[in-house]
Structure formats: structure tokens, C-alpha cells
Amino acid sequence: MRERLDGLWHDEDFTDWYPRDGRPGLSPARLATVCVLRFMLCLSDRQAAEAVRCRIDFKYATAMDLDGPGFHHSVLSDFRDRLTEGDHADRLLDSRWPA
């Protein structure tokens, strides 16, 4: 998946989704990739977050370091909430989705 979708999303595509101040968050491009994997494999948020922590294929697909800590499963639902705001989902899919 990484080889086919690498470069599909970039963190810059999400800059207007997040406030400019505050603590840096997780890579939105990485979260978008995890959401796609979660959907494709019919995983729950907990299972997807666990896969990011433990599975080498998820680490490779998301370009994470092998010793990367992953994230709490609630981050995925927060990311999906942002996706439902305005036209975020349409913009995300229309801007880069291969024909």
C-alpha cells in the first residue's frame, strides 16, 4: 500500500484542519493512511491502533519507525470527526485520489 499510495497525502494538506498554536499533534497524513487500512481490514479503532504499535506491515505502510510508540485509539475517532467537518472529506479524496 505504501508503494502505491506514498505521497497521496501530505501533512500540509491538513493545515487548515488544526489550530496553529498548541502542542504538535500526530501526522494527519499518517492518520488518514491508518483510517484507510482500518476500513480495508475491517478493524476497530482499538485493533488499528494496536496494529500500528505491533505490526511491521502497518509500520511500513505508515512510514513509522520500528520502535515508534503508536497512539491511543481515540485519536482515530477524533480524526474522523475532523473529516466530517465541512468539505474536508471531499477535499481530501478529490485532491489526490488516483483515477
Over the stretch 52-93, which tens digit does the pLDDT of each residue have? Answer: 999 998 988 888 888 888 899 999 998 888 888 877 777 777
Q: What is the DSSP string of 19-59?
A: -SSSS----HHHHHHHHHHHHHTT--HHHHHHHHHH-HHHH
How many beta carbons lie within 10 A of that of residue 49, not counting itself? 21
Task: Work out the pLDDT band at 24, boundaries 50, 70, 90.
Answer: low
pLDDT of residue 99: 47
